[in-house]
Structure 1
Amino acid sequence: MGLPQSRPLFFLAFLTCAGLIGGALFFQHGLGLEPCPLCIVQRIIVITIGVICLLASIHNPGNVGYRIYAGFTALIAGTGIGVASRQVWLQSLPPDQVPECAPPLDVLVDMLPWQELLRVLFTGTGDCAEVQWTFLGLSIPGWSLVSFIGFFCFAMIELFRQRPKRMFS
Structure 2
Amino acid sequence: MKSTKSSLLLVALICIALLGAALYLQIVQEMAPCPLCIIQRYLFAAIAIICIIFAFLPAGTAKAGAGLGLLTALGGVGTAGWHLWVQAHPGTSCGVDPLETSLNTIATAKMFPQLFRADGFCSTPYDPILGLSIPQWSLIWFAIIAIVLGRSLFKRR
Distance across 2 between alignment mates of 1:111 and 1:26: 20
Distance across 1 between alignment mates of 2:151 and 2:145: 10
> Where does residue 66 of structure 1 map in the other structure?
62
TM-score by length of 1: 0.75
Aligned residues: 143
Q: Percent identity?
A: 33
Shift of 1:133: 3.1
> Where does residue 30 of structure 2 map in the other structure?
32
What whole-Å deviation, never above 9, does each CA across 1:22-47 have from its counterpart, x for those lacking one?
00111111111110000000000000
What whole-Å deviation, never above 9, does each CA across 1:108-165 have from its counterpart, x for those lacking one?
24999xxxxxxxxxxxxx91011213123211111000010011111110111012xx
Query: Which ranges in structure 1 are unaligned for 5 or more consecutive residues?
Result: 113-125, 164-169
Distance across 2 between alignment mates of 1:12 and 1:6: 10
> Where does residue 17 of structure 2 map in the other structure?
19
Query: Which ranges in structure 2 are unaligned for 5 or more consecutive residues?
Result: 106-119
> Where does residue 86 of structure 2 map in the other structure?
90
Whether 1:162 and 2:118 are equivalent positions in the alignment is: no
Distance across 2 between alignment mates of 1:155 and 1:111: 30
Q: 1:37 to 1:6 in 2, by over 3 A?
A: same
Shift of 1:70: 1.2
Runs of 4+ in 1 over 3 A off after TM superposition: 103-106, 109-112
Q: CA RMSD in A?
A: 2.7
Equivalent runs, 1:40-59 vs 2, <5 Å: 40-59=38-57
Shift of 1:19: 0.3
